Amino acid sequence: MTAKAKNDDRHQQILNAFQSAIGADNVRDNPATVNAYFGDFLPPKILGMSMPPEFVVLPNGTMEVQAIIKICNRYKIPFIPVGSNQWSLTGSPNRPHTVIIDCKRMGKIHEIDEKNMYAVVEPLCTLAQMQAEAYKRGLYIGSPEASATASCIGGHVFQGMWGVGYRLGVAYRNILGVEWVLPNGEILRTGSFSQDADNGFWGEGPGPDLRGMLRGYAGAMGGVGMVTKMAVKLHPYPGPKVWPVEGMIPNQTSVLPEDRFKWYMVKYESLEDAVNFMYEVGRAEIAGVIQKWPTVYYIMWWSNSCEQYWTEWQKRTFQDNVKNAVGVCLWGFSSGKQLEYEKRVLEDIIKETGGKPVKQEVQDMWVPRQANNWIRDTHGSRMMRASGTFLALRLQTDTLKYAIDHVRQGYEWVDKFSPPILDSDGPDWIGGYDFGHFGFGETDFPVEKTPEAIGDLMGKLLEMTKQDVQNGLENGIGPFLGGVYHAMAGPVFGYDRLLKGIKKAIDPNVVSNPPHNFPIEN
């Protein structure tokens, strides 16, 4: 028997096993279907490092997911669970024989408990769907920088730096009960799901809080099995039951009711002054969102065509007006009076910290068109419009003050790496979370989507990351996601042993999206 035929026999056996577990219609191995599961705007596909999966399977429910994962263990073939499939990040197969577990048949909202303010969702349910249902009930759930097209579950386990994280806690802190199939096929229920599979209101326990296994600094990347059900917190919302939108694609605007929401755009002389302002706002415990966006974010989200992007960028409309500006949205959570009170406090802080309003015409351009994206949807894919892709230099999650050093260091590298990095005006995104008790820094920029530019940049970023690791990661964590990066950077803090230990314990056959979230293969 030739190697190929042997391989085909095995393929057929696996196919039969999947089909008998979840039905023939829900399993595909044909080239035209699997071809749609390995690409996005990120380097692996552009550089030819990802490949189509061998199978795509569509299970319905936890038991079918368990059956799939057991088959993967039996044949020792890797699987990758994917949510709403908004970008693939580490969801692109990087080795042969991969199985994509696509959750297209698992999009239910099982429950919305208005009184106890939580919802129980399946992995396909997007944040946009959950938001729409929450608004109707006077409740709220956030949106990550990427977009509300992201899966609600995915959005909670991955990073979770959403706008309202300032007030309501970053996404991963909003996870309650979780039902999840481990890489070895066991079903794990945490929080109150462990006592009652229909009741997700409580997050902790039993025993040590296992939710941390899912999140890391950017989620577990499918390396610890697949979450099939999650209870997530909802929050009070003073906005309308239907999101207000005026106009037509791609020029829509959105203005929230003035008696409950108010955006301020405040400009400072220096980044230090801007961050000081963010601290002061946090200290006063006011506002719903506070962000210092880089100028590239303004243009990325504001422009409605690539021509408009580069024309306006060359006019320096945003560079000259929003450098070191901070956007603050006040929310009258409990009443209009609360908003009035917060306005007075904020205006005092602006005065005391020497802030100046961003030019009114620039505010008028930006606020109705894009500011509320940080409440409902960032339309993150607009970031790719002007050059085909964007990348980040580093991320940093520590204090707001530390974020300043992080992005400053970032500028230098961006300068060094330009080209291939395109014009980006010292990109410095600083987000304030938990009332400013912690801060996030990220350095994002456009790069032209060509294998040459991306290949060149990836090499440079790898060198930078090696240096960073040698320096004890003083300036934040690198742009590489998941397992490989954890292996490089983990020893700096000693968390590699923890990740490795967990992975070994629950994934003995190394089937759950290797090498994430830690490489334990030889």
Partner 1 sequence: MAKEMLLPKDPRYLKYPLEAPFDQEKARWIAFNCSRCSVCKWVNSWQVKSAKYARICPQHTKYLYDSHSGQGKCDLALAIIDGKMKWGDDPEIKDILFQCTMCGGCDAMDKNIRDAELVKMYRWMRAEYIKEMGPLPEHKPMLDSLKQYDNVWLQPRMKRNSWTKELKDLGIKDLNKEKAEVLLFAGCTYGLSEELKGTVVNIAKILKKVGVDFGTLGDKELCCGSPAEKTGNLAEYERLGTANIKKFNEMGVKIVLTPCAGCYGTMRVAYEELPEKMNFEVLHVTEYLERLTNDKKIKFKKEVPVTVTWHDPCHMGRMGRPYVPGKDLLGVYEEPRNILKSIPGVELVEMERIREYAWCCGGGGGAFSGFKDFAQWTARERIEEAKDTGASMIVTSCPWCETNLRAGGIGMEEKMEIVDLFDLMMQAL
Within residues 368-387, the interface with partner 1 by CB under 8 A covers 376-377, 379-382, 384-387
Instruction: Please tell me whether residue 51 binds partner 1 under the rule CB under 8 A.
Output: no
- Identify the residue among 98, 295, 363, 389 touching partner 1 (CB under 8 A): 389
CA distances from 9 to 22, 33, 67, 470 (A): 20, 21, 21, 48
- Identify the residue among 18, 41, 118, 302 touching partner 1 (CB under 8 A): 41
Smallest distance, partner 1 to C-beta of residue 300, A: 10
- Identify the residue among 50, 66, 73, 88 touching partner 1 (CB under 8 A): 88
Residue 475 CA to residue 393 CA, distance in Å, equals 11
- Contact pattern for partner 1 over residues 324 through 343, marking x by CB under 8 A: --------------------
- Helix residue spans in 239-305 (DSSP H): 271-283, 295-302
Name which of 70 and 104 has its Cβ closer to partner 1.
104
Decide if 260 contacts 239 (C-beta within 8 A): yes
Residue 88 CA to residue 45 CA, distance in Å, equals 10
Q: Alpha-carbon dihedral of residues 386, 392, 393, 399, nearest 10 degrees?
A: 130
Q: Which stretch binds partner 1 (CB under 8 A): 1-9, 307-315, 465-473, 494-502?
A: 307-315
- Identify the residue among 18, 37, 366, 413 touching partner 1 (CB under 8 A): 37
Q: Per the structure block, which two tokens stand in for 266?
A: 């405040």
Residue 300 CA to residue 94 CA, distance in Å, equals 30
Q: Strands across the sheet with 27-28, in order?
A: 27-28, 55-57, 99-102, 79-82
Smallest distance, partner 1 to C-beta of residue 191, A: 23
Residue 514 CA to residue 381 CA, distance in Å, equals 27
Cα-Cα-Cα-Cα dihedral sign, residues 402, 407, 412, 414: positive
Residue 8 CA to residue 211 CA, distance in Å, equals 39
Instruction: Read off φ and ψ for residue 178, nearest 5 degrees.
Output: -135, 135
Residue 267 CA to residue 255 CA, distance in Å, equals 22
Name the residue among 172, 169, 373, 186 with its Cα closest to residue 263.
Answer: 373
In sequence order, the β-bridge partners of residue 28 are 56
Name which of 168 and 256 has its Cβ closer to partner 1.
256
Name which of 304 and 338 has its Cβ closer to partner 1.
304
Q: Alpha-carbon dihedral of residues 61, 62, 68, 71, nearest 10 degrees?
A: -150
Instruction: Please tell me whether residue 49 binds partner 1 under the rule CB under 8 A.
Output: no
Smallest distance, partner 1 to C-beta of residue 187, A: 24
In sequence order, the β-bridge partners of residue 113 are 118
- Identify the residue among 73, 84, 98, 512 touching partner 1 (CB under 8 A): 84
Smallest distance, partner 1 to C-beta of residue 428, A: 18
- Contact pattern for partner 1 over residues 253 through 292, marking x by CB under 8 A: -x--------------------------------------
Interactions with partner 1, residue window 147-206 (CB under 8 A): 147-149
Binding-site size for partner 1 (CB under 8 A) equals 77
Question: Which contiguous run of DSSP H or E holds residue 308?
Answer: helix 306-315
Q: Under DSSP, is residue 294 helix (H, G, I), strand (E, B) or coil?
A: coil
Q: Which stretch binds partner 1 (CB under 8 A): 213-221, 238-246, 399-407, 433-441?
A: 238-246
- Identify the residue among 39, 138, 169, 354 touching partner 1 (CB under 8 A): 39
Pairing of strands 175-181, 226-233: antiparallel
Q: Is 307 left (phi over 0), alpha (psi -120 to 50) or beta?
A: alpha
Smallest distance, partner 1 to C-beta of residue 518, A: 26
Interactions with partner 1, residue window 398-457 (CB under 8 A): 418-419, 421-423, 446, 448-450
Name which of 388 and 455 has its Cβ closer to partner 1.
388
- Identify the residue among 7, 20, 195, 252 touching partner 1 (CB under 8 A): 252
- Contact pattern for partner 1 over residues 52 through 81, marking x by CB under 8 A: ----x-x-----------------------
- Identify the residue among 32, 115, 470, 521 touching partner 1 (CB under 8 A): 32
Amino acid, res. 475: N
Smallest distance, partner 1 to C-beta of residue 440, A: 22
Q: Which stretch binds partner 1 (CB under 8 A): 83-91, 198-206, 354-362, 464-472?
A: 83-91
Residue whose tokens read 């960073």: 468
Q: Which stretch binds partner 1 (CB under 8 A): 265-273, 302-310, 357-365, 484-492?
A: 302-310
Interactions with partner 1, residue window 98-127 (CB under 8 A): 102, 104-105, 109, 125-127
Other CB atoms closer than 10 Å to residue 132's CB: what's the count? Answer: 15
Name which of 209 and 415 has its Cβ closer to partner 1.
415
